[in-house]
Amino acid sequence: MWERIRKTVQLGKRQGLRASTSPAAAGRRRPLVEILEGRQLLTASLGALSNLSVPAQQGYQLPLDGSGNTDGTQTYTVTSDNPLVKVSVAQGPYWTLNVSHQAASSSDISFSGALVFQLFADLTPNTVTQISNFTNTGFYNGKNFARIMNNFPGTTDYIAQGGSVNPDGSGTSPFANFADELVQSIAFTGTGQLAMANSGVGTNTNNTQFFVTTGTPTFLDYNHTIFGQLVAGSNILGQMTQVQKSYNTVYNETSLPTNPVLINSATLSSSNVNGVVHIDTTSATAGQSANISVTATDPTDGSTRTETFRVTVGAYQGPTSPVINFIPLVSNVATSTNGNSPVLVTLAGKSGYPNTSTPATLAYAIATQPAHGTLSNLNASAGTVVYTPNPGYTGPDTFQYNVSSTGPKSSPVRQTSVNATVTVNVGQAIVNTGAVRQVADVLIIQAQPRATGGGNTIRILQQPDPTSTTGGEKIVVLVNGQVDQLQPSTDSLVQIMASGTKANTSITVDPNVTVPVTLNGGHGRKNRVQAGGSGAILHGWYGRTTLIAGDGINEMVGRKGHVRFKATSATVLAYASNANPNLSNFLPTPSGGTYYRFIRGRLVAVKSN
């Protein structure tokens, strides 16, 4: 970030049309040009943030570079568009270690500078309190980094360990040990991480010694309390790893700086232009992603700067059997039912513990109730619950659940997942309409006259059959908006026959229906008959009938009354009768009519009889 200096010029006041020749007047003249003093414009600063891959069920501590802001302080906010990739701005003091080193030989280096960390009082409060107390007593002043060692994990990846009583890493601290604070979302997934040294995981032997990483030693995950992140001084940390080293008898390795890397002073402050974002993937699985936006705000002038980047969730990289319990995982669930019909919902939760041979014990709970139905018979251990839609309701309904786990480790005693959503799509109620029956391999649909008068509407659909083990489909019939309970598989049918009544009748076959159909319009009033994607024969009887061809090959016949054809190129024949058979000596006289064919986009009469 650069500083912007605003300089403006301003013309002097107009002196009049004539210049005065009086020396006194000349002395009183104002300068024609006034130069204003330089003014520094304060502005928020935020370094570029690159896309990240973060392991599932763990997390990442992202340092924020606000060093371009010379005002000395700024605040941060952060958002994620995926609730399973949680983000927050770290809360805690800033810990500054002023360090220096004098070269021990011509091949050694000299340097001095500051390491600045933000401490995680929000996630490891006890550890931060302990370190703050040690700092405030002046314990770290004059101490050194006794161990600078590589192979954490690679040959160029180091830890720098400091804070011991004696210069070689030995000595008994005057302070009492304190317990680990191992947090699932804080693992060794980044660099510049600040962690407690101890005498072994689970021993609660944290004291004054700490270390800083330059690599990602994942083999240390959940063995050490990570309580801070380097936000400034990475160049100093890099120089620390390059100092000349001697053999250290405390650790039996060549890791002791020949000349000490001194901690000249350790101080705490409440504000800094830099910061840290916690990225929490403890509830996420590999393959998920999130767009993260970070905004820096300068409280002095209100200016802001926003950076957006993408987090992709990768595979879990931690230990197979960590010493802490993990948060269980849940997934959204979708199911369906018909109106007035209960449905058993199986919830989708599982233990988050990486070692599947020692899973945790799960217990399911309902987090929110549905708006258009009721829940009953929750089996908390099996993860099932019965959903019943409210009478008459159709459409989507949702509720939320979560799952808690206990074990297999002792801490934390109980872990609870985020909430997941169950979506139930409630269709129309299934009833016996009395209009649908199956005779052998023929489905017969005959709407009955309505007691209240009015016409009939028949719709024929083809849908996936959930009872089929081979991905088969079934025929579903809606009669006057009601779903009939008879729903045969398409494999069991060779023909569908549907007929109207003397009232107005509408018969529609959906385009995806593959079973051949014969459709008969009503025997009076207005009728509308529409074929679908299968082969079809369409009949119009009495009244006014419109026959509409579908995509399948079709034949259309108008028996009596007024008929209107809407043919397509798939129409192979259309016939319109113009009279009823006459009875002469009790013998029928054939009626006359006209045959049509679909030619060049229109029906053309080809024969009359």
Q: Find out whether 412 and 462 touch, Cβ atoms under 8 Å.
A: no
Quote the pLDDT of residue 299: 93
Within-domain flag for 474: yes
Structural domain that includes position 346: 329-427
Quote the pLDDT of residue 453: 61
Q: Looking at the structure, tell me whether residues 29 and 135 fall in a common domain.
A: no
Within-domain flag for 309: no
Q: Of 379, 394, 427, at which residue does a domain stop? A: 427
Q: Of 269, 293, 308, at which residue does a domain stop? A: 269
- Looking at this protein, which amino acid is placed at residue 216? T
Regions of the chain short of the pLDDT cut 50: 1-38, 579, 581-589
Q: Which helix (H) or strand (E) holds 125?
A: helix 125-136
Nearest to 263 by CA among 159, 150, 195, 165: 165
Within-domain flag for 284: no
Q: Looking at the structure, tell me whether residues 389 and 434 fall in a common domain.
A: no
Q: Looking at the structure, tell me whether residues 375 and 502 fall in a common domain.
A: no
Q: Looking at the structure, tell me whether residues 415 and 476 fall in a common domain.
A: no
Quote the pLDDT of residue 451: 60
Nearest to 70 by CA among 273, 234, 230, 270: 273
Within-domain flag for 108: yes
Reported as a single tens digit per residue, the pLDDT across 34-63 is 444 445 555 899 999 999 999 999 999 999
Quote the pLDDT of residue 591: 58
Residue 67 tokens, joined: 């060093």
Within-domain flag for 61: no
Q: Looking at the structure, tell me whether residues 363 and 473 fall in a common domain.
A: no
Looking at the structure of the chain, the number of domains it has is 4
Q: Looking at the structure, tell me whether residues 98 and 141 fall in a common domain.
A: yes
Quote the pLDDT of residue 41: 58
Q: Find out whether 183 and 196 touch, Cβ atoms under 8 Å.
A: no
Q: Looking at the structure, tell me whether residues 216 and 237 fall in a common domain.
A: yes
Residue 366: count of CB within 10 angstroms of its CB: 17
Q: Looking at the structure, tell me whether residues 422 and 437 fall in a common domain.
A: no
Indicate the pairing of strand 505-509 with strand 456-464. parallel
Could you tell me the CATH number of the domain that includes residue 390?
Answer: 2.60.40.10
Cis peptide before 412 (omega within 30 of 0): yes
Residue 151 tokens, joined: 């192979």
Within-domain flag for 158: yes
Q: Looking at the structure, tell me whether residues 385 and 471 fall in a common domain.
A: no
Q: Looking at the structure, tell me whether residues 152 and 259 fall in a common domain.
A: yes
Q: Looking at the structure, tell me whether residues 262 and 340 fall in a common domain.
A: no
Quote the pLDDT of residue 235: 98
Quote the pLDDT of residue 580: 53
Q: Find out whether 346 and 384 touch, Cβ atoms under 8 Å.
A: yes
Alpha carbons 59 and 199: distance in angstroms, whole number: 25
Q: Find out whether 334 and 425 touch, Cβ atoms under 8 Å.
A: yes
Quote the pLDDT of residue 461: 95
Q: Looking at the structure, tell me whether residues 128 and 231 fall in a common domain.
A: yes
Let me know if 136 is exposed, middle or buried by CB neighbors in 10 A (0-12, 13-18, 19+).
Answer: exposed
Alpha carbons 311 and 297: distance in angstroms, whole number: 23
Residue 573 tokens, joined: 């024949």
Within-domain flag for 530: yes
Within-domain flag for 59: no
- Looking at this protein, which amino acid is placed at residue 511? P
Helices then strands, counting H and E runs in the chain, come out as 3, 50
Q: Of 404, 427, 450, at which residue does a domain stop? A: 427
- From start to end of 454-586, where are the E strands? 456-464, 473-479, 482-484, 495-499, 505-509, 517-520, 526-530, 536-540, 544-548, 554-558, 562-566, 571-577, 582-584
